[in-house]
């Protein structure tokens, strides 16, 4: 086995959906349904791609979803603030309104979809609501079902956008036969879309999914490339626990060296963790995400 990173050309890459899959090509309502179906089918293939770090992919999409949910409620925080809120949180402290949204999404995507896991992630909704939403009663396409879930939750509680979007994305994922929630509707729906009902809401969901699937595929391609590089440089790392650190980087959106040190079973000092992170940055395998000199956060 060679320790040298494979040249980019040898790493299998994820192909984009055909260019004709686009909202711009949809003129009639049924066109939108067709395009979203095509986009989701392509996304399904991408989601099982061999080199894709799935947990990391979901975690990053969760960050994007949390950012759009925070924007939706008119808050100023952006992705970097959400990361800070969660990474700099100490036990017993409150994540703040924006951090709480990110935590909710992270919880929702990190465990396989089940009534129990979503009940934990969505304390504002009832167990019945979650069970019924996931059971996907009635006929209709997965998207139509997700739109129904969205509408049902928002009718009950118009201010529960985050919970509604998580549950709708869960219902969609379940209907598509996926194990985990993949944040999609949350990425693509606009604030005014959430005020739509019935047919209009379903159309908005089709449109949102074409866009979100494109975004998710782009991210998957990017992360697959970066993950391949990280895996390739992993054998060069001499630090104890480096292997496990690499595994953590392939599942988490961002890590502070102190969190990395704490989460490694092998045990590592904060200093050693910081050195390992710097080494990974030197090797081009992870990035420092904040641009700060202190309280740095690292991620693929």
At what angle are helices 198-233 and 54-72 packed, to 10 degrees?
Answer: 140
Please answer whether residues 296 and 277 qualify as being in contact, where contact means their C-beta atoms are separated by less than 8 angstroms.
yes
Query: To the nearest whole angstrom, how small is the minimum distance from the Cβ of residue 95 to another protein?
Result: 6
138 conformational bin, left if phi > 0, alpha if psi -120 to 50, beta if neither: left
The residue with tokens 């009663």 is 137
> Which whole-number Å values give the CA distances from 63 to 46, 97, 102, 197, 253, in the listed order?
19, 14, 6, 27, 8
| Closer to another protein by Cβ: residue 14 or 79 | 79
Picking from 109, 126, 130, 253, the residue whose alpha carbon sits closest to that of residue 184 is: 109
Site residues for another protein, 168-227, by CB under 8 A, read none
| Closer to another protein by Cβ: residue 25 or 126 | 126
Give the list of residues 6+ apart from residue 193 with CB closer than 8 angstroms, or none: 201, 204, 205, 208
Query: To the nearest whole angstrom, how small is the minimum distance from the Cβ of residue 128 to another protein?
Result: 7
Among 74, 91, 112, 138, contact with another protein (rule: CB under 8 A): 74
Query: To the nearest whole angstrom, how small is the minimum distance from the Cβ of residue 83 to another protein?
Result: 10
| Closer to another protein by Cβ: residue 112 or 123 | 123
Q: Site size for another protein, by CB under 8 A?
A: 25
Question: Judged by CB under 8 A, does residue 31 bind another protein?
Answer: no
Query: To the nearest whole angstrom, how small is the minimum distance from the Cβ of residue 295 to another protein?
Result: 4
Residue 239: alpha-carbon gap to chain centroid: 30
Site residues for another protein, 81-140, by CB under 8 A, read 84-90, 92-97, 99, 123-124, 126, 128
Query: To the nearest whole angstrom, how small is the minimum distance from the Cβ of residue 102 to another protein?
Result: 11
Strands (E), the chain: 287-288, 298-299
Query: To the nearest whole angstrom, how small is the minimum distance from the Cβ of residue 139 to another protein?
Result: 27
Rounded Cα–Cα distance for residues 132 and 42 (Å) = 28
Site residues for another protein, 138-177, by CB under 8 A, read 159
Q: Which residues contribute to the site for another protein (CB under 8 A)? A: 73-74, 84-90, 92-97, 99, 123-124, 126, 128, 159, 290, 292, 294-295
């Amino acid at each position: 086995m060679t320790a040298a990173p494979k040249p980019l050309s040898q790493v299998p890459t994820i192909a984009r959906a055909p260019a004709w899959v686009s909202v711009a090509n949809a003129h009639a309502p049924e066109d939108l349904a067709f395009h979203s179906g095509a986009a989701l089918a392509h996304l399904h293939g991408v989601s099982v791609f061999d080199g894709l770090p799935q947990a990391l992919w979901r975690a990053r999409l969760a960050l994007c979803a949390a950012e759009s949910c925070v924007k939706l409620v008119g808050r100023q925080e952006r992705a970097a603030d959400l990361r800070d809120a969660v990474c700099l949180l100490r036990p017993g402290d409150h994540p703040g309104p924006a951090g709480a949204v990110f935590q909710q999404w992270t919880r929702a995507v990190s465990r396989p979809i089940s009534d129990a896991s979503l009940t934990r992630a969505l304390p504002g909704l009832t167990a019945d609501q979650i069970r019924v939403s996931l059971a996907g009663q009635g006929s209709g396409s997965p998207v139509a079902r997700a739109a129904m879930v969205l509408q049902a939750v928002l009718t009950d509680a118009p201010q529960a956008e985050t919970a509604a979007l998580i549950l709708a994305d869960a219902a969609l994922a379940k209907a598509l036969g996926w194990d985990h929630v993949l944040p999609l509707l949350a990425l693509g729906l606009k604030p005014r879309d959430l005020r739509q009902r019935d047919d209009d809401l379903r159309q908005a969901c089709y449109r949102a999914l074409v866009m979100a699937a494109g975004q998710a595929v782009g991210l998957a391609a990017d992360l697959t490339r970066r993950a391949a590089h990280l895996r390739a440089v992993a054998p060069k790392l001499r630090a104890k626990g480096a292997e496990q650190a690499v595994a953590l980087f392939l599942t988490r959106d961002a890590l502070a060296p102190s969190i990395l040190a704490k989460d490694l079973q092998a045990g590592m000092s904060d200093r050693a963790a910081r050195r390992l992170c710097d080494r990974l940055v030197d090797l081009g395998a992870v990035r420092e995400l904040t641009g700060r000199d202190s309280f740095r956060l690292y991620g693929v």
